[in-house]
């Protein structure tokens, strides 16, 4: 391709310039029109959630700054818009990085065919995963359903992932292009909730790189153990940046490997962190090979599970008012920050699907709407795992006890105190189960159960037994 040709780079979940193989290819081919299209005709179940819309808006704004204001944003049907742009600006080459949501795969195939039919080269790249889902199959060609062999044999025995690429020098095609207005995408509703939520984060490529550096200097030192304690700063909190592609997983992988080489004593912690990136690969592989992952149980037996329809319980769970302090702290962390620590995701998830026996779809939908890192593969696989109906899932009969989980992973109750301030003065001994606290302790702590803080909406022991009984019906 000659250097005076124009290519479109179609940004999707790769909102960065560094280590962006599709953008690099476009830049090497000549002039570039960088484009983002907010697709309207998405199937209902895949529509972007509320928190994601806020993140996306700010991430596109940041990307536009990096691109010196050259990002063109559109709303509508991607195929139609790309075709129109190609004709208008005599574009012969369109590049994008692959995404693995089933509707995206279908759309990409259609767009590629359409472009081909009008003489334009549509070229897709791997910009989101360390290994493509078809590179990590078993010897017999089938996909892994269990994490450990997937990671050890499928990933670590495959070719090493691509090392990160540098950011390209971009020569923009500017002629007659209308200035882009991000507000036209209508991503923000201008509610105070949005401003409050995003004010707790720095969004964009620079913020993602800075966060990786901080993690590799600090958090990683105690990652393996510390990652279980929500009040500790031991996890990376890179998930929204990875979700939106503000940083590539290859960059994170290679930076961790470099750190490991320089500081071999970090080996256990660093390797554990790398294996969590492996879980991300596993979820994407599951979604690719089992595209029904977001909607149907991987374990078919669960199709008969007697889920309970409980709108009152669901509302209490969503609003962090179940009366179980560690569950409420997790749910309020989610609502107030757009993020929830992994340990809490497991505790609140188990409480919903086991103690309340509410369908995992309801939990998945709430997370989808409220998480900044809401990701179809990780969210669906996470919920199937916690419900016990997924691949390599936690067995259904392993029911987290939120009181002992709190005692173990928030021993002084500081995480609960941060997000459930009405229990702030309750001594650590009673903060996980205030319903067992003597009246005088509650009184001196300023707590009136049922008034200042809810009574528990279920008895943990009885609800556990009911869950096990329901599970037993599956065997029958």
Ligand X SMILES: Cc1cc2nc3c(=O)[nH]c(=O)nc-3n(C[C@H](O)[C@H](O)[C@H](O)COP(=O)(O)OP(=O)(O)OC[C@H]3O[C@@H](n4cnc5c(N)ncnc54)[C@H](O)[C@@H]3O)c2cc1C
Catalytic residues: 276, 279, 307, 342, 360, 383
Residue nearest to ligand X (CB): 382
Q: In angstroms, give the least distance from the CB of 346 to ligand X.
A: 5
How far apart CA 463 and CA 402 sit, in angstroms, is 12
Rule CB under 6 A: say whether 373 interacts with ligand X: yes
Angle formed at CA 227 by CA 223 and CA 231, multiple of 5 degrees: 120
Is residue 394 a contact partner of residue 385, using CB atoms and an 8 Å limit? yes
Q: What is the 3-state secondary structure (H, E, C) of 170-226?
A: CEECCCCCCCCCHHHHCCCCCCHHHHHHHCCCCCCHHHHHHHHHHHHHCHHHHHHHH
Q: In angstroms, give the least distance from the CB of 334 to ligand X.
A: 10
CB under 6 A: which stretch of 6-14, 121-129, 150-158, 374-382 binds ligand X? Answer: 374-382
How far apart CA 293 and CA 384 sit, in angstroms, is 8
Rule CB under 6 A: say whether 129 interacts with ligand X: no
Nearest CA to 96 among 173, 277, 104?
104
Rule CB under 6 A: say whether 344 interacts with ligand X: no
How far apart CA 219 and CA 254 sit, in angstroms, is 17
Give residues 450-469 in contact with ligand X (rule: CB under 6 A). Answer: none
Rule CB under 6 A: say whether 389 interacts with ligand X: no
Q: Which two tokens stand for residue 226?
A: 């510390």
Rule CB under 6 A: say whether 235 interacts with ligand X: yes
Nearer to ligand X, 94 or 371 (CB): 371
Rule CB under 6 A: say whether 327 interacts with ligand X: no
Nearer to ligand X, 71 or 293 (CB): 293
Nearer to ligand X, 346 or 447 (CB): 346
Which member of 371, 431, 442, 447 binds ligand X (CB under 6 A)?
Answer: 371
Q: In angstroms, give the least distance from the CB of 349 to ligand X.
A: 4
Is residue 231 a contact partner of residue 415, using CB atoms and an 8 Å limit? yes
How far apart CA 77 and CA 348 sit, in angstroms, is 37
Which member of 75, 237, 257, 466 binds ligand X (CB under 6 A)?
Answer: 237
Rule CB under 6 A: say whether 378 interacts with ligand X: yes
Is residue 46 a contact partner of residue 376, using CB atoms and an 8 Å limit? yes
Q: Which two tokens stand for residue 275?
A: 């294996």
Q: In angstroms, give the least distance from the CB of 277 to ligand X.
A: 5
Which member of 74, 147, 279, 396 binds ligand X (CB under 6 A)?
Answer: 279
Give residues 247-276 in contact with ligand X (rule: CB under 6 A). Answer: 276
CB under 6 A: which stretch of 87-95, 105-113, 302-310, 372-380 binds ligand X? Answer: 372-380
Nearer to ligand X, 231 or 346 (CB): 346
Nearest CA to 368 among 346, 352, 385, 383?
383
Rule CB under 6 A: say whether 405 interacts with ligand X: no
Neighbours of 385 (CB within 10 A): 22
Q: In angstroms, give the least distance from the CB of 326 to ligand X.
A: 15
Which member of 147, 151, 288, 383 binds ligand X (CB under 6 A)?
Answer: 383
Side-chain-side CA neighbours of 239 within 13 Å: the count stands at: 21
Q: Is 73 helix (H, G, I), strand (E, B) or coil?
A: strand
How far apart CA 62 and CA 55 sit, in angstroms, is 11
Nearer to ligand X, 7 or 236 (CB): 236
Strands 171-172 and 93-97: unpaired
Q: In the stretch 22-61, what mask flags binding to ligand X with x, by CB under 6 A?
A: ----------------------------------------
The single residue listed with the structure tokens 């990096």 is 66
Rule CB under 6 A: say whether 150 interacts with ligand X: no
Which member of 17, 60, 277, 316 binds ligand X (CB under 6 A)?
Answer: 277
Q: Which residues bind ligand X (CB under 6 A)?
A: 227, 235-239, 242-243, 276-277, 279-280, 283, 342, 345-346, 349, 367, 371, 373-375, 378-379, 382-383, 386
């Amino acid at each position: 391709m000659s250097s005076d040709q124009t290519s479109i780079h179609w940004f999707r979940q790769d909102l960065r310039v560094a280590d962006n193989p599709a953008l690099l290819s476009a830049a090497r081919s000549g002039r570039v029109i960088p484009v983002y299209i907010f697709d309207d005709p998405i199937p209902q179940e895949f529509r972007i959630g509320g928190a994601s819309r806020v993140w996306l808006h700010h991430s596109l704004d940041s990307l536009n700054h990096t691109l010196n204001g050259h990002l063109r944003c559109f709303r509508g049907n991607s195929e139609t818009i790309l075709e129109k742009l190609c004709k208008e600006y005599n574009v012969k080459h369109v590049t994008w990085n692959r995404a693995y949501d089933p509707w995206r795969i279908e759309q990409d195939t259609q767009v590629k065919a359409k472009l081909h039919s009008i003489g334009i080269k549509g070229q897709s790249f791997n910009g989101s995963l360390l290994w493509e889902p078809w590179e990590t199959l078993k010897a017999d060609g089938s996909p892994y359903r269990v994490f450990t062999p997937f990671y050890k044999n499928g990933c670590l025995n495959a070719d090493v992932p691509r090392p990160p690429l540098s950011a390209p020098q971009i020569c923009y095609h500017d002629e007659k292009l209308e200035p882009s207005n991000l507000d036209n995408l209508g991503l923000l509703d201008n509610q105070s909730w949005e401003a409050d939520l995003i004010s707790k984060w720095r969004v964009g490529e620079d913020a993602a790189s800075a966060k990786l550096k901080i993690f590799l200097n600090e958090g990683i030192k105690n990652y393996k153990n510390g990652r279980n304690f929500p009040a500790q700063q031991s996890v990376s909190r890179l998930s929204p940046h990875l979700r939106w592609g503000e940083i590539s997983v290859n960059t994170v992988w290679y930076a961790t490997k470099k750190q490991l080489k320089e500081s071999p004593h970090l080996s256990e912690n660093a390797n554990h962190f790398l294996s969590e990136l492996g879980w991300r690969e596993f979820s994407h592989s599951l979604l690719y090979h089992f595209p029904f992952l977001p909607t149907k149980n991987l374990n078919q037996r669960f199709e008969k599970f007697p889920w309970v329809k409980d709108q009152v319980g669901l509302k209490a769970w969503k609003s962090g008012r179940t009366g179980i302090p560690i569950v409420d702290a997790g749910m309020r962390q989610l609502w107030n920050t757009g993020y929830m620590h992994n340990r809490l995701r497991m505790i609140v998830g188990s409480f919903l699907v086991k103690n309340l026996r509410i369908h995992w779809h309801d939990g998945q939908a709430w997370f989808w709407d409220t998480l900044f890192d809401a990701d179809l593969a990780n969210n669906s696989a996470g919920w199937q795992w916690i419900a016990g109906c997924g691949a390599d899932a936690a067995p259904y009969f392993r029911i987290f006890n939120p009181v002992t989980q709190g005692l173990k992973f928030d021993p002084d109750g500081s995480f609960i105190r941060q997000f459930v301030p009405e229990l702030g003065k309750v001594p650590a001994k009673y903060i996980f189960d205030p319903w067992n606290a003597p009246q005088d302790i509650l009184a001196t702590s300023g707590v009136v159960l049922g008034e200042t803080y809810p009574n528990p909406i279920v008895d943990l022991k009885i609800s556990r037994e009911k869950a096990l009984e329901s599970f037993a019906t599956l065997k029958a």
